[in-house]
């Protein structure tokens, strides 16, 4: 077994809150530059840049985990990690059915760019991807599991959009596989604040919305196989995960 460096929560230009130059191509080039071996591109409520990302990742020899960051009706962010692109697309269909129907019609303009391998714009996504779905956090986790994925409680130390900020605690029916602590909190503070969740595996990821933030926080996974299956196995033995920040 050996350690692999992973940042499993990176937004692309499909997320309205991310920079428009954070394209799949630039994310993967930057990830390689800083020695990441595994990344997940997780846009808000959409997987539409993942086909492009997977083509580039295959070419560049980096493992891309298909992912999404899904917003529940309680405004909780859940990071969903999948084995295949098809699983992510299946989840995307469920999520799209639970987004508001009027899309961006009554909103200020935002950029949610779907791009190709050459960074050409294929589509301006017109859905309110940054908003809440009509699914509860518990429903989302159940659906992620049905699609064969892993569900991670995003940035639990944040003041908003986290399972703990929105619900006060992690209810037992929200069967998350791991929790993510953000760049902003020290390990010491996190261990004190989330002592009751030490039975779960913890991740650190960058939650990057800009190219420069990729890899500022990451997790070292001890794996015998660099694959989604290898990562899923490591989630079950939390001693094989080591969280880091720059
Ligand atoms: Zn989030
Ligand atoms: Zn995020």
- The string of pLDDT tens digits covering residues 179-213 is 999 999 999 999 999 999 999 999 999 999 999 99
Could you tell me the distance, in angstroms and rounded to a whole number, from the CA of residue 154 to the centre of ligand 1?
6
Classified as helix, coil or strand, 208 is strand
Domain ranges, ordered by start, for the chain = 2-245
pTM (two decimals):
0.97
- Ligand closest to 217 (CA) is 2
Give the distance (Å) from ligand 2 centre to CA of residue 207.
5
- For the CA of 71, the nearest ligand: 1
Residue 38 has pLDDT above 80, yes or no: yes
**Is residue 153 helix, strand or coil?**
strand
User: What pLDDT band is residue 238 in, cutting at 50, 70 and 90?
Assistant: confident
At the top level of CATH, the class of 2-245 is alpha beta
Instruction: Please choose, from the candidates 77, 67, 70, 71, the residue with its C-alpha nearest in 3D space to the C-alpha of residue 7.
Output: 67
The ligand that comes nearest to the alpha carbon of residue 213 is 2
pLDDT at 104 over 90: no
H helical segments located in 34-80? 50-60
Q: Give residues with Cβ within 8 angstroms of 87, minimum separation 6.
A: 66, 147, 148, 149
Is 111's pLDDT higher than 80? yes
* Alpha carbon of 1 to ligand 1 centroid (Å): 31
Ligand nearest to the backbone CA of 9? 2
Q: What is the mean pLDDT of residues 108-123?
A: 93
Q: Point out the ligand nearest to the CA of residue 10.
A: 2
Tell me the CA–centroid distance for residue 89 and ligand 2, in Å.
18
pLDDT in the model for residue 117: 98
């Amino acid at each position: 077994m050996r350690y692999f460096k992973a940042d499993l929560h990176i937004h692309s230009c499909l997320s309205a809150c991310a920079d428009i130059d954070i394209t799949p191509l630039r994310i993967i080039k930057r990830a390689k530059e800083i020695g990441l071996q595994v990344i997940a591109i997780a846009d808000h409520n959409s997987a539409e840049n993942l086909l492009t990302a997977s083509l580039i990742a295959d070419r560049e020899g980096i493992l891309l985990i298909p992912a999404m960051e899904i917003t529940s009706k309680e405004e909780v962010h859940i990071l969903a990690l999948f084995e295949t692109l098809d699983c992510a697309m299946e989840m995307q269909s469920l999520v799209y059915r639970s987004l508001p129907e009027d899309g961006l019609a009554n909103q200020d303009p935002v950029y949610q760019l779907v791009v190709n391998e050459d960074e050409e714009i294929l589509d301006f996504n017109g859905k309110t991807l940054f908003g809440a779905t009509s699914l509860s956090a518990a429903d989302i986790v159940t659906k992620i599991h049905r699609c064969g994925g892993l569900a991670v409680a995003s940035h639990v130390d944040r003041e908003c959009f986290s399972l703990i900020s929105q619900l006060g605690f992690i209810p037992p029916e929200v069967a998350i596989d791991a929790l993510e602590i953000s760049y902003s909190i020290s390990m010491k503070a996190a261990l004190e604040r989330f002592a009751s969740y030490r039975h779960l595996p913890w991740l650190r990821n960058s939650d990057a919305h800009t190219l420069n933030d990729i890899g500022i926080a990451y997790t070292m996974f001890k794996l015998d196989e660099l694959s989604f299956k290898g990562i899923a196995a490591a989630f079950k033995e939390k001693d094989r995960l080591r969280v880091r920040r720059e």
